[in-house]
């Protein structure tokens, strides 16, 4: 028996309903903020992520699905989407379009990490990028948008963390200081942090190993080493969030896992997800375009939501509601089948969710109950001969008989009781 690959899964009904509802809410929210959808390839040149995400990150060094194509080129299943969006922005000269480019995406990403609660090797992200502005007001608007998205899908009890990781002027000095301090404590940290202390010291601050936390908490804080422009930018972002009434905690140890972040970084966590409790993260990446070979600066900020984890929390806290189902049934026969199909088509044309089943009444009523149908429409020989239909309310078990032309009116009347 062939099964799904480890770390990958099938999304089945009724869970797929929750996925569709979350995505529909996201699309509508993005529309109100004037974001437009971009769809990038699942496969990209490996160099895009090595240069964009960072060769020393865990994503590039340990987690990417990379293979050699038949022409000898190295290709990678995208582990994240920001680098792909920026590649498309540069390639198609979107900088030539006046104004801020506001783009969103929804789709699968791939990382070969250890599967755990809400984390898979093929996972899905909802994300957005605002490219073309260095303004802290744009940072605040992006954070406002993502907080509103979580509220609209019914998520409560989440917490927003905020930080600044500096820029090319102040971060190198801080990283050098961090390296010096880590020389003394690295031998007492986990194996990954011992490696990161040499290759990517900032990632040590993002360690989740409990025993390492007292040592990490004693390390210098980047908040104490920001240059004046970065400090002013961070203060302005905070002011904009305060003006909007958005509650946040400044978390100086939060650096995110991608090398392209600078200045504003943020993360939202939720207790229902356990130790690995991040729902989404994002930040500013003003130097990414240049790292990918662009001669034109393209400052930007964005975020990505782990859709798998978001849907899991939504299903636990606010289960999605499906449209009520109407089951059109008919007894065997050509005339009854035609009458049933005609009735189903009319109801669907009026936006009503319909399925069709054939069989004796006892059998079809059993089917209706198993499918949680609210209404059963009966097209039997006697109904067809009289130009009528019968309708049974599956909840109160009341059955009525009426003229065929009253079908939509009567069905809507019955369904209205359950709205």
Measured in whole angstroms, how far is the alpha carbon of residue 128 from the centre of its chain? 10
In a domain, 9, yes or no: no
Give 372's pLDDT tier (boundaries 50, 70, 90): confident
Please give the structure tokens belonging to residue 257.
């896992």
In a domain, 6, yes or no: no
Question: From CA 337, how far away is CA 331, in angstroms rounded?
Answer: 8
In a domain, 10, yes or no: no
C-alpha dihedral (234, 239, 240, 245), degrees to nearest 10: 130
Q: Is residue 343 classed exposed, middle or buried when 0-12, 13-18 and 19+ CB atoms within 10 A define those classes?
A: buried
Question: From CA 52, how far away is CA 33, in angstroms rounded?
Answer: 27
pLDDT value for 284: 93
Say if residue 85's pLDDT is above 60: yes
pLDDT value for 259: 65
CATH code, domain carrying 407:
3.40.50.800
347-363 per-position pLDDT tens digit: 999 999 999 988 887 88
Residue with tokens 């437009």: 36
Query: Do residues 313 and 337 both lie within one domain?
Result: no
Query: Do residues 252 and 363 both lie within one domain?
Result: no
Domain that holds residue 185: 171-200+207-224
177-234 per-position pLDDT tens digit: 888 888 878 788 888 887 887 778 887 887 778 877 888 888 888 888 899 999 999 9
β-pair type (278-284, 43-45): unpaired
Query: Do residues 395 and 383 both lie within one domain?
Result: yes
Please give the structure tokens belonging to residue 395.
């909840």
Q: How many domains is the chain built from?
A: 3
Predicted structure pTM score: 0.83
Say if residue 276's pLDDT is above 60: no
pLDDT value for 62: 78
Say if residue 320's pLDDT is above 70: no
Question: From CA 252, how far away is CA 261, in angstroms rounded?
Answer: 14
Q: Regarding predicted confidence, which is higher, 272 or 403? A: 403
Worst-scoring range by mean pLDDT, 202-211, 284-293, 298-307, 378-387? 202-211
Torsion sign across C-alpha atoms 38, 136, 299, 74: negative
| H helix and E strand count, the chain | 15, 16
108-138 per-position pLDDT tens digit: 999 988 777 667 899 999 999 999 999 999 9
Query: Do residues 388 and 313 both lie within one domain?
Result: no
Residue where one domain finishes, among candidates 294, 317, 340: 317
């Amino acid at each position: 028996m062939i099964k799904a690959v480890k770390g990958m899964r099938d999304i089945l009904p009724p869970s797929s309903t929750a996925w569709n509802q979350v995505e529909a809410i996201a699309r509508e929210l993005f529309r109100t903020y004037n974001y437009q959808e971009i769809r990038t390839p699942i496969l990209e040149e490996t160099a895009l992520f090595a240069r964009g995400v960072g060769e020393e990150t865990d994503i590039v060094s340990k987690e990417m699905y990379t293979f050699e194509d038949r022409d000898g080129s190295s290709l990678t299943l995208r582990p994240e989407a920001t680098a792909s969006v920026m590649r498309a922005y540069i390639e198609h000269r979107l900088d030539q379009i006046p104004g801020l480019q506001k783009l969103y995406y929804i789709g699968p990403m791939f990382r070969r990490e250890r599967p755990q609660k809400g984390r898979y090797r093929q996972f899905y992200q909802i994300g957005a990028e605002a490219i073309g502005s260095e303004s802290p007001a744009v940072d605040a608007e992006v954070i406002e948008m993502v907080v509103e998205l979580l509220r609209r899908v019914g998520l409560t009890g989440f917490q927003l963390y905020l930080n600044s990781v500096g820029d090319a002027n102040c971060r190198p000095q801080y990283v050098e200081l961090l390296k010096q301090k880590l020389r003394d404590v690295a031998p007492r940290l986990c194996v990954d942090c011992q490696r990161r202390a040499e290759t990517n010291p900032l990632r040590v601050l993002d360690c989740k190993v409990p025993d390492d936390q007292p040592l990490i908490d004693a390390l210098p804080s980047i908040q104490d080493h920001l240059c004046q422009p970065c400090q002013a930018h961070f203060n302005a972002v905070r002011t904009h969030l305060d003006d909007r009434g958005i509650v946040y905690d400044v978390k100086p140890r939060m650096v995110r896992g991608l090398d392209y972040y600078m200045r504003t970084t943020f993360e939202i966590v939720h207790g229902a997800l356990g130790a690995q409790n991040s729902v989404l993260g994002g930040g500013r990446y003003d130097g990414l375009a240049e790292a990918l070979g662009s001669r034109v600066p393209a400052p930007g900020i964005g975020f990505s939501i782990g859709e798998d984890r978001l849907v899991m929390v939504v299903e636990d806290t606010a289960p999605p509601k499906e449209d009520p189902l109407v089951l059109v049934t008919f007894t065997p026969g050509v005339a009854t089948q035609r009458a049933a199909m005609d009735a189903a088509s009319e109801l669907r044309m009026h936006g009503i969710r319909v399925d069709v089943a054939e069989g004796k009444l006892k059998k079809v009523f059993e089917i209706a109950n198993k499918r949680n149908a609210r209404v059963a429409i009966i097209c039997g020989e006697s109904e067809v001969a009289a130009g009528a239909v019968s309708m049974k309310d599956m909840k109160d078990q009341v059955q009525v008989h009426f003229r065929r032309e009253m079908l939509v009116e009567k069905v809507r009347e019955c369904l209205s009781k359950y709205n």
